[in-house]
Amino acid sequence: MLTKKELKELKLKSNSVRINIIKMISESKSGHPAGSLGIVDILITLYSKLIKHNPKKPNWNKRDRFILSPGHVCPALYATLAEEGYFKKEELITLRKLGSKLQGHPHKEDLQGIELSTASLGQGLGAAVGIALGLKLNKSKNYVYCISSDGEHDEGSVWEAVNAANKYKLNNLINIIDVNNIQICGYTKDVWPLESFKAKYESFNWKVIEINGNNHCQIVSAIEKAKKLNYPVCIVAYTVPGKGVSFMEHKYQWHGKAPNQEEKESALQELEKERELIIK
Amino acid sequence: MDSVRELKSTRQGFGKALLELGKKNKKVVVLSADLTSSVQAHKFEEKYPTRFFQAGVAEQNMISMATGLSLESFIPFATSFGVFVPMRCLDQIRVSVCYNNSNVKLVGSHCGLSTGEDGATHQALEDVASLRSLPNMTIIEPCDYNQTILATKAIVNMNGPAYLRIHRPKMKQLTKISSKFKIGKADIIQKGEKLTIITSGPVLVEVIKASKILVKEKIINFKPEIINCHTIKPIDYKTIINSVKKTNKVLVIQDHQIVGGLGSSVCEVLSQHFPAPVKILGMKDKFGESGSPKELWHRYGLDHEGIMREIKKFV
């Protein structure tokens, strides 16, 4: 459980990450704002409170492993890693620029703290399964956290991985699905209906916990609960795409479009206002 | 000692090497996509069950799992038929394996027409072409049982992605287990003149036979130079160019599509460094069919008769 102070801190960090996401994507004039904004609260809560990691030693052997399968929401991950001290926040605006550590989709050879280069959808969970197997073989007690997206569950390879985790009883694997209901061409219900994740994962013998993925307290309790279950656990996290910027919220049109100058300013104004409210 | 006379397949060589590696190197793990004994990994499974992962008929996830295992410092062999690994899971290989420079070893068995009776769906003739353009990938096609043992051990000792192209039929052994094997270093099997023959894989048997007959029956009045180019990528520029400087003519023989195989690689080298006439024997943009390996090599001009015919025409 989070204390009031901890919650306030998480909210402030999340807000700061959102402000950076808007600045980064505006500066690069391309990128994926909606998904990035939606996933911030999960990332910040994981990195601040739940994942064992050490920004000074990104390859620390006792770290928990983290895979971001939908690599396109990496602005949120980059801003979170900067928030946690992996690199200087000033570098964030180099996103997608020539020679930047911050590639358009994350590349582990460019940035310390990235476990696996991802973004071709449907590969992250399978790699997480392999890591979980490897950790067990090495008798490590660490966990593997994977964030996958609802849209990427269109890929059959995701379901191969879901099956594999059941076969190998991977109780050290937690898959958080960011269910934001949008993908490039529209709402997931129209593009490729996927509901219900809960019923589907349960039929593969996973344990499922459903939460509001923009609620820090629910994220903490879900992970705490997941670690007590002796199963692979899927956390179905319902998030608001574009969260915090009213004109982007729930709009699939903001999946992969950068805000123009005017939109950027209006988004930042809104987020600054939110910041003041959190501080109060 | 393995008798040189005994007929054995490259896939058996792979199985033998796995057993040795299993004992010596605790980091070696094996994944199978429901083809364990076909790729000769069954003995490893029996002996080292905790380091063997049955991945089911799900090649894409097998490659992802292998990537994850490699991140935890294991050396995974992801095994299947060459038609499935690499081709069923090429994007996983491109991004999770090659872009990440993961220490994953891919093994495609039943490659080439020599797969035989199973026919076109199971004869990998495009695997090298599929992988050759991927950065960080090493591609090796050993010519016989012994060389496969050496190649399997060699790819464990290198860091990064590698693909081992192996085969079903039992063949005469051409190399010794005591032979030297170095990734990226082609072997000159026969020193010669006027024609460089470059090949990889078991079809080398037919190349040697063709050369012997042509010389013995005085159909040609020279010995061609024969290069066993077991490492298709990175290709051994030096050995190839040095040979062609001497002979000025190249014949490439491959149990693979002409498009994108060893011959293409040789042409890329020569066109940029030492242009010379090249002829490539292989599949001419067609699928294979059922038949015995011998019959198929005969039909598609890859047996010694077909090779002799081409050499006579070419020189």
Domain final residue pick, B165, B197, B212:
B165
Are residues B200 and B257 both part of a single domain? yes
**Domain region containing B226:** 187-309
**What pLDDT was estimated at residue B1?**
42
Please judge whether A131 and B95 are an interchain contact, meaning their C-beta atoms are less than 8 angstroms apart. Answer: no
Q: Is the pLDDT of residue B68 over 80?
A: yes
User: Residue B2: inside a domain, yes or no?
Assistant: no
* Cβ count near A76 (within 10 Å): 29
Q: Establish if B199 touches chain A: CB-CB under 8 angstroms.
A: no
Q: Do B16 and B115 lie in a common domain?
A: yes
ipTM above 0.90, yes or no: yes
Mean pLDDT of the region B72-95: 98
Verify whether the Cβ–Cβ distance A119 to B67 is below 8 Å: no
Q: pLDDT category, B2, cuts 50, 70, 90?
A: very low
Q: Are residues B209 and B305 in the same domain?
A: yes
Among A63, A69, A114, A133, pick the best mutation site for testing chain B contact (most B Cβ within 10 A).
A133
Q: Using a CB–CB cutoff of 8 Å, tell me whether A137 touches chain B.
A: yes
pLDDT at residue number B4: 57
Please say if the pLDDT value at position B143 is more than 90.
yes
User: What CATH number does the domain containing B298 carry?
Assistant: 3.40.50.920
On average, the pLDDT of chain B sits at 97
A72 CB within 8 Å of a chain B CB: no
Neighbouring CB atoms inside 10 A of A59's CB total 9
The 10 Å Cβ neighbour count of residue A279 is 10
Q: Does residue B26 sit at the A interface (CB-CB below 8 Å)?
A: no
Element (H, E) at B81: strand B75-81
In the structure, what pLDDT confidence band is assigned to residue B5 with cuts at 50, 70 and 90?
Answer: confident
The answer on B161 and B21 residing in a single domain is: yes
Percent of chain B that is helix, strand, coil (3-state, to 5): 40, 20, 40
A142 touches chain B (CB under 8 A): no
Q: What DSSP element (H or E) covers A148?
A: strand A144-149
Instruction: Give yes or no for a contact between A80 and B31, defined as CB atoms under 8 angstroms apart.
Output: no
For the structural domain made of A4-279, what CATH number should be given?
A: 3.40.50.970
B1 lies in some domain: no
Mutate to test the interface with A, among B61, B74, B91, B95 (most CBs of A within 10 A): B61
Residue with the two structure tokens 């290069």 = B227
Distance from CA of A161 to the nearest CA of B (A): 6
Pair B18, B156 in one domain: yes
C-alpha B164: how far from its chain's center? Answer: 6
Q: Give tens-digit pLDDT for A149-186.
A: 999 999 999 999 999 999 999 999 999 999 999 999 99
Question: Is residue B160 situated within a structural domain?
Answer: yes
Tell me whether residue B314 is in a domain: no
Answer yes or no: do B49 and B136 share one domain. Answer: yes
Asked if the structure places residue B38 within a domain, the reply is yes
User: Are B60 and B159 contained in the same domain?
Assistant: yes
Per-run averaged pLDDT (10 residues), chain A, 280 residues: 96 98 98 98 98 98 98 98 98 98 98 97 98 98 98 98 98 98 96 96 98 98 98 98 98 96 98 97
Order of strands across the sheet that contains B75-81: B52-54, B28-32, B75-81, B105-109, B162-165, B138-140, B231-233
The mean pLDDT value for B154-171 works out to 98
Structure tokens of B159? Answer: 């860091």
Torsion of CA B1, B3, B4, B5, to 10 degrees: 180
CATH number of the domain that residue B114 is part of:
3.40.50.970
B193 vs B199: CA distance, rounded Å: 16
Q: Tell me: the pLDDT tens digits for B195-248? A: 999 999 999 999 999 999 999 999 999 999 999 999 999 999 999 999 999 999
- Is there a domain that residue B181 lies in? no
Q: Are residues B96 and B132 in the same domain?
A: yes
**Position B110 confidence tier, pLDDT thresholds 50, 70, 90:** very high
Residues B227 and B127 in one domain: no
CA A74 to chain centre: 8
Same domain, B153 and B291: no
> Residue A1's pLDDT is what?
85
Residue A92 vs residue B4, higher pLDDT: A92
Considering the domain boundaries, does residue B199 fall inside one?
A: yes
- pLDDT-based confidence at B6, cuts 50/70/90? confident
CA distance A117 to chain B (A): 6
Domains in chain B, number: 2
Write the single-letter amino acid at B153.
K
Classify residue B57: in a domain, yes or no.
yes
> Are the beta carbons of B70 and A164 separated by less than 8 Å?
no
